[in-house]
């Protein structure tokens, strides 16, 4: 299995305005006989899944998304050689015209995971709404990306545009953000088998996830 998830660690990168990540000892073996860590972070920390409830009033919560929806064959679209800083990824860059139909899971490799933990990670490539809507029409139900956000992350004072979230979550699908290591899948081909396993937070709008891939 190939792990495509970022470890959760104190002070790690989060979406601007999200709760910061704190990981600290609550109990210790020396003092209490057991080790227990206290975790304090938002539902969209690290590698995580956005449920429809994240942006859709009355949308499905993370505990209502079946694991069957988040596991299976995935199409890997590699645009790392064209994804410059703040590059808008359109349908042509993805080669959508050759894809029909697509499996339920599509993951986009931008290569931006190499900047995780730096300020530059916030200035990532992003998908245009038209391309996201085209992928949904072709059969995509789950969109994954190795960046902070499939939409453009706004600078302070700028208005956010959630066109990709609207296309995917608005269609009752799911989004997986902050993947890493998608280049390791190149040897497996364009289509691989993946499993996305979020924490089943009752009523949650999203949850951190362990994401793995293996050969079909």
User: What is the number of structural domains in the chain?
Assistant: 1
Q: pTM value? A: 0.95
Q: How far apart are CA 85 and CA 82, in angstroms?
A: 10
pLDDT digits (tens, 9 = 90+) for 2-29: 999 999 999 999 999 999 999 999 999 9
Q: How far apart are CA 63 and CA 53, in angstroms?
A: 11
Domain range holding 180?
A: 2-214
Q: Provide mean pLDDT across the span 99-120.
A: 94
Band (pLDDT 50/70/90 cuts) for residue 216 is: low
Band (pLDDT 50/70/90 cuts) for residue 145 is: very high
**Domain CATH code at residue 184:** 3.50.30.50
In Å, how far are 26, 56, 107, 126, 207 from 177, measured between CA atoms? 29, 18, 10, 12, 11
């Amino acid at each position: 299995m190939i792990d495509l998830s970022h470890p959760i660690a104190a002070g790690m990168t989060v979406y601007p305005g999200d709760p910061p990540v704190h990981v600290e000892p609550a109990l210790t073996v020396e003092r209490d006989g057991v080790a227990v860590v206290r975790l304090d972070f938002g539902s969209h920390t690290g590698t995580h899944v956005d449920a429809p409830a994240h942006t859709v009033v009355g949308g499905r919560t993370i505990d209502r998304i079946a694991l069957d929806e988040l596991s299976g064959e995935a199409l890997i679209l590699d645009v790392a050689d064209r994804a410059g800083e703040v590059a808008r990824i359109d349908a042509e860059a993805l080669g959508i015209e050759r894809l029909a139909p697509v499996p339920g899971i599509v993951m986009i490799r931008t290569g931006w995971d190499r900047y995780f933990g730096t300020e530059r990670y916030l200035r990532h490539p992003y998908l245009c709404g038209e391309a996201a809507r085209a992928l949904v029409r072709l059969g995509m139900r789950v969109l994954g990306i190795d960046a902070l956000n499939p939409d453009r992350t706004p600078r302070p004072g700028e208005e956010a545009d959630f066109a990709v979230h609207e296309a995917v979550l608005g269609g009752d699908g799911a989004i997986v953000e902050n993947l890493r290591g998608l280049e390791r899948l190149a040897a497996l081909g364009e289509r691989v088998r993946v499993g996305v396993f979020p924490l089943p937070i009752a009523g949650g709008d999203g949850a951190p996830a362990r994401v793995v891939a293996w050969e079909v």
